[in-house]
Amino acid sequence: MIRRICRWTVIILILLFLYLPILILAVYSFTDATNIGAIRGFSVHNYVTLFTTPELRDMIFGTVVLAVGSAVIATILGTMGAIGAFYSRKGMASAITTMNQVPVVNADVVTGFSICILLVVVLGISKDTYIPLVAGHVTLCAPFVFLAVIPKLKQMDQSIYEAALDLGAAPFTALIRIVIPQIFPGIISGFAMAVTLSLDDYFVATYTKPATFDTISTYVVNATKGAQTNIKTALWALSTVIFLLVVLFSLVMNIRANREN
Amino acid sequence: MHRRTFSRKYLGIPYAAFLLLFVAAPLIVLIYYAFTNGQGEFTVQNMTGFFSDPNTLGTLCYSFGVALVTTAVCLLLAYPLAYILATSRLKGKSVIVLIFIMPMWINFSLRITALKEILTWIEGNLAYHPFLNTVLGMSYDFLPFMILPIYTAISKLDGALLEAARDLGAGEAQAFLRVTLPLSLPGIMSGVSMVFLPAMTNYVVLDMLYNSTYIMGSLIGSYFAAYNWNGGSMIALILLGIICLFTLLTGGTDDENRRGGALL
Amino acid sequence: MEQTKNIIELKHITKTYEDGYSAVSDFNLEVKQGEFITFLGPSGCGKTTTLRMIAGFDIPTEGEILLNGKPITSLPPNKRPINTVFQRYALFPHMNIYENIAFGLRQKKTPEKVIAKKVKKVLELVDLEGFENRKIDTLSGGQQQRVAIARAVVNEPQILLLDEPLGALDLKMRKEMQLELKEMHRELGITFIYVTHDQEEALTMSDKIVVMSEGKMQQIGTPEDIYNEPINAFVADFIGDSNIFNGIMTGKLKVRFCGGEFACVDDIEEGTHITAVVRPEDVTLTRPEEGRIRGTVTSVIFKGIHYEITVESGKNEIVAQSVHSARVGDRVGVQVEPDNIHVMIAEDHTNIFAAEINKNYELEYNGTVLPVDLTNVIKGSVMSEDGTLLDAKGLEIDPKKVRIKISIKPQDIELTDDQEEGLVQGCISNLIYKGDHYSYVIHTDLEQDFVVNDEYLWNMEDQVGLIMPVEKMIFTVKK
């Protein structure tokens, strides 16, 4: 009995630690208050500001487009890389795997900084072309797609590809019709991981983005240094919206997973 | 001459080229810049400068301090929680685990903003407790990364092993110490490496919580702001060295546990 | 020394789970010091649960466990002088072999010198000398098995529990280990409690066998007892190959089954419904005119030292073992010596008969298609798009290889004058008044005897139809 109480205490305390700030902010996002602690009336003006200020709208839109765009490129590259490495000779495979591991274990600051040096300082590519930014985000995400796809390839029954060839399919057809469907769950989870990584990134973006462009992270970090309270409280609304979206997404995923069982 | 036909291994070529260009090449450039000065002449000044300047050495120590304490806090919170979750027989367990993982998917800068507002409300002026706030912020940010791998490791544990330990005369505490804990060590290592390294470099958490002390990441930021590529490269290189050392020590990480590993 | 001391006693042990499912109910057992006792039964019969309660991993909901006369029912496993060899060994993967074996000794704070000596000795016992520093994952299945045994016996337990320890090994290895375990039991002199679902393993190794089914003990006895005198149809069916028939006593030491009357040695009151068990090796095939019953040979399989010959007589199948071959289609007679017919009083008179699967994957009996969905009958099976039946693994089911046994209770069958209305037709060959109803035996045109309870009086030799509602039938799949 005592043990049960202890268990629930630990669970609840950590839940409070993780969620209380977000939830309090969510409550205050629906008021006129500019500081937590102040008690003010109900208002949705933060949400109005969030969705009507062009600067904020562009920033959110830009972040999403960047995330989806670089995730798509990263997914294509990472999946091809995984298939290629999986069927390559050992030396080639381990070379790819080792290089793939670098951005995974590396600190994002170092990844962002080194890409900035190479592309911007050495090769002289302007940040305004968005090339360094997209390249940076793809570099950040593709290795995780690679890592998500490899286990699916290992799990796959290796003889089905040969069976397809035996039945007369060309290698490329066999790959598209047989191998890709088998590893598709891995590709999807790699893609989802790529999107979240890009959405959450600050460091790569800050070293490679054009001066006029902001992602949510870079914008929020700069905004906390600024003094514009209406922007600050509009970000509370943004935080609440994202929180609700994540909850919704998790719910949907969980219901789907339950249904499959 | 035989005709070249499609082979699956050719698919690896674009990705290999991509990795060479965006992973290997930047590292080589980094090394080059770290050992040259602004005029492109070879020098070890960047390195000796770092290791002889008390300020930068202080930053290194402060980084280690922040990372060490953050990791310890995360471990102390995450291990009991992960253990409770993994060993409980609750029906909706997967949902509860999901709830603890969900913060990973909310933008970290927004979450730190939320924490900042709360801390400001409680403490009044954040500047009074810079170290405490930093550790709180980092723990708040990185805790899910510690929970997940430990939870996975304990869940994977074969219940028969614990029964075997009990059968051979071990009490509950002994069975935990001699079987559960050593077998969850890989999970702990994964978690530690996922918390310790970001805690040394994620200077945004410090900035947002008004901690003006530098950690290793902040040095790169400040060199970047000053267009000092050579100095920044040296810091990046030193960080890389620490990361390599750390990865060797912790024996690497299960890939599945990396960052958004819980996803799907 | 007292030879007949009970080392462990289980008294009225019941294990009921929260969802109301009883894994074990009212289980009683006494095990003597030094015995090799085997719990035998199909999966889910409660044998492993019983073992786990002896080990202390599960606590019985009711009943008492005594070790040397002292209750240990809720003592934690680490406080019991009992050790287990786990099904999949449960060796600690982060320790080498030495550390694995030393684990139990260390818990008892044994001095390191003694540990080293004991580990060395036990490794010799299991033929793994010099393996101390090897890692677990470098060992073969058989070697891991030996380490698991060594790790348990090094603690000198009073009882060694073995939970299907040979299940993961291949056939040859299993045979070898069976002999070694038996040898080890003799050498160590401690009590072994062994769990298996393999009847041959149980018969080879045990001093005593406990046959279990659905959480209950069915029979306990020496391997010979169990094999030769099975107490009921379940035991007879589970142990060895057997022909099992429903029948009825038709006179003093006379029994009727399979459409013929046989002499027997069991003195049971006339009119009692019985189950007759005949081992294939006890069936003698004769010329047609010399047999008690006659039939046609439907299959002959060469088994190395004998032929297995299946004879069909009416709808009954009789399996015989013979050193002489026969040809499919031969007409033969079947004879069984009286003392080779094991007659037991049927606990219930459930009628069991076989149905066939036809080409369209429908269940057919006596030329009538039964309105049931086969996918519900065969667990996990699905009907594929091209109209074939696939089993749980997705393999096509061969209708010829699968037989469905249908059981139906006597009270669920209805008799009718209109013979065509019945699923099968026959004549009443016996009737007994049972106070509130009559119990009839109907000998069908397919040469089977059905027991039917009916409240109305019919006459002997009446021709009747048997109406059997599908919803009252229980189906079991026989491969």
CB contact C167 to B (< 8 Å): no
| Reported confidence tier of residue A232, pLDDT bands at 50, 70, 90 | confident
Does C29 have pLDDT greater than 60?
Answer: yes
Residue B164 C-alpha, separation from nearest chain A C-alpha, in angstroms: 23
| Residues C87 and C164: beta-carbon distance below 8 Å | yes
Adjacent-strand bridge partners of C66: C9, C71
Q: Which of C17, C57, C82 to mutate to test the interface with B (most CBs of B within 10 A)?
A: C57
Percentage of chain C lying above the pLDDT 90 cut = 43
CB contact C151 to B (< 8 Å): yes
Whether B56 is in a domain gets the answer no
CB contact A30 to B (< 8 Å): no
The count of structural domains within chain B is: 1
> Does the beta-carbon distance from A254 to B94 stay under 8 Å?
yes
Question: What does each C-alpha distance from C350 to C68, C273, C405, C408, C419 come to in angstroms?
Answer: 42, 10, 12, 6, 22
| Residues C117 and C48: beta-carbon distance below 8 Å | no
Identify the sign of the CA torsion B5, B10, B14, B20. Answer: negative
Write out the CATH class of domain C6-228. Answer: alpha beta
Does C401 have pLDDT greater than 90?
Answer: no
Amino acid C206: pLDDT: 94
3-state secondary structure of A53: coil
Q: For C240-258, what is the mean pLDDT?
A: 85
Instruction: Please give the CATH number for the structural domain made up of A57-226.
Output: 1.10.3720.10
Tell me how far apart the alpha carbons of residues C249 and C271 are, in angstroms, rounded to a whole number.
Answer: 5
Q: Specify the amino acid at residue C403.
A: R
| Residues C368 and C422: beta-carbon distance below 8 Å | no
Q: Do chains C and A touch (3 or more CB pairs under 8 A)?
A: no
CB contact A156 to B (< 8 Å): no
Does C145 have pLDDT greater than 50?
Answer: yes
| Reported confidence tier of residue B262, pLDDT bands at 50, 70, 90 | very low
Residue B240 C-alpha, separation from nearest chain C C-alpha, in angstroms: 31
| Reported confidence tier of residue C66, pLDDT bands at 50, 70, 90 | very high
Lowest average pLDDT, out of A238-252, B2-16, C445-459, goes to B2-16
Residues in chain B closer than 8 A to C57 (CB atoms): 163, 166-167
Does B1 have pLDDT greater than 80?
Answer: no
Amino acid C347: pLDDT: 65
Q: For C119-142, what is the mean pLDDT?
A: 92
Whether B8 is in a domain gets the answer no
Classify domain C241-345 at the CATH topology level.
Answer: OB fold (Dihydrolipoamide Acetyltransferase, E2P) (2.40.50)
| B106, B204, B220 ranked by CB distance to A242: nearest | B106
Q: What is the pLDDT of residues B48-74, one digit of tens each?
A: 989 999 999 999 999 999 999 999 999
Tell me how far apart the alpha carbons of residues B112 and B107 are, in angstroms, rounded to a whole number.
Answer: 9
Q: What is the pLDDT of residues C221-240, one digit of tens each?
A: 999 999 888 888 788 878 88
Which residue ranges make up each domain of chain A? Answer: 57-226, 228-261
Chain A neighbours, 3+ Cβ pairs < 8 A: B
Q: Specify the amino acid at residue B100.
A: F
Tell me how far apart the alpha carbons of residues A243 and C341 are, in angstroms, rounded to a whole number.
Answer: 76
Among the listed residues A111, A149, A114, the one whose alpha carbon sits nearest the alpha carbon of residue B255: A149
Q: Which residue has the tokens 């290629």?
A: A84
Amino acid C433: pLDDT: 66
Question: Following DSSP, what letter does each residue of C113-150 receive, concatenated?
Answer: HHHHHHHHHHHHHTT-TT-TT-BGGGS-HHHHHHHHHH
Percentage of chain C lying above the pLDDT 70 cut = 96
> Does the beta-carbon distance from B207 to A225 stay under 8 Å?
yes
Amino acid B252: pLDDT: 54
Residues 159-178 of chain A with CB under 8 A from chain B are 170-172, 175
Does C92 have pLDDT greater than 60?
Answer: yes
Which residue ranges make up each domain of chain C? Answer: 6-228, 241-345, 351-478
Q: Specify the amino acid at residue A149.
A: V
CB contact A113 to B (< 8 Å): yes
Lowest average pLDDT, out of A211-220, B188-197, C469-478, goes to C469-478
Residues in chain B closer than 8 A to A111 (CB atoms): 26
- Backbone phi, psi, residue C333, to 5°: -105, 155
Does C325 have pLDDT greater than 50?
Answer: yes
Same fold, C241-345 and C351-478: yes
Residue C206 C-alpha, separation from nearest chain B C-alpha, in angstroms: 24
> Does the beta-carbon distance from B15 to A202 stay under 8 Å?
no
Instruction: Please give the CATH number for the structural domain made up of C351-478.
Output: 2.40.50.140
| Residues C244 and C231: beta-carbon distance below 8 Å | no
> Does the beta-carbon distance from B113 to A249 stay under 8 Å?
no
Residue C197 sits at the vertex; the CA angle it makes with C193 and C201, to the nearest 5 degrees, is 70
Q: Which of A110, A240, A250, A256 to mutate to test the interface with B (most CBs of B within 10 A)?
A: A110
Lowest average pLDDT, out of A54-63, A179-188, A225-234, B74-83, goes to A225-234
Q: What is the pLDDT of chain B when averaged over all its residues?
A: 88
The CATH number that applies at residue B141 is 1.10.3720.10
> Does the beta-carbon distance from B163 to C83 stay under 8 Å?
no
> Does the beta-carbon distance from B224 to A116 stay under 8 Å?
yes
Q: Of A162-176, B144-158, C424-438, which one has max mean pLDDT? A: B144-158
CB contact C242 to B (< 8 Å): no
Question: Following DSSP, what letter does each residue of C287-347 receive, concatenated?
Answer: -GGGSSEEEEEEEEEE-SSSEEEEEEETTEEEEEEESS---TT-EEEEEE-GGG-EEEE-S
Which residue of chain B is at minimal alpha-carbon distance from A74? B15
Amino acid C383: pLDDT: 77
Amino acid C2: pLDDT: 47
Q: For C148-160, what is the mean pLDDT?
A: 94
Amino acid C230: pLDDT: 86
Does A150 have pLDDT greater than 80?
Answer: yes
Residue C352 or residue C196, greater confidence: C196
Amino acid C65: pLDDT: 95
| Reported confidence tier of residue B39, pLDDT bands at 50, 70, 90 | confident
| Reported confidence tier of residue B5, pLDDT bands at 50, 70, 90 | low
Q: Specify the amino acid at residue A201.
A: D
Residues in chain B closer than 8 A to A89 (CB atoms): 9
Lowest average pLDDT, out of B88-97, C299-308, C465-474, goes to B88-97
> Does the beta-carbon distance from C90 to B160 stay under 8 Å?
yes
Q: Assign residue C170 a region (left: φ > 0; alpha: ψ between -120 and 50; beta: otherwise).
A: beta
| B158, B161, B171 ranked by CB distance to C78: nearest | B171
Beta strands in C358-460 (DSSP E): 363-365, 368-370, 382-383, 389-390, 403-408, 414-416, 424-433, 438-444, 449-454
CB contact A135 to B (< 8 Å): yes
Q: What is the pLDDT of chain C when averaged over all its residues?
A: 87
Q: What is the pLDDT of residues A9-53, one digit of tens each?
A: 999 999 999 999 999 999 999 998 888 877 788 889 999 999 999
Containing domain of residue B95, as a range?
67-214+253-262
Chain B neighbours, 3+ Cβ pairs < 8 A: A, C
Q: What is the pLDDT of residues C331-364, one digit of tens each?
A: 999 999 998 898 888 766 778 788 888 878 888 8
> Does the beta-carbon distance from B260 to A224 stay under 8 Å?
no
Residue A199 C-alpha, separation from nearest chain B C-alpha, in angstroms: 7
Query: pTM higher than 0.95 for the full model?
Result: no
Q: Do chains B and A touch (3 or more CB pairs under 8 A)?
A: yes
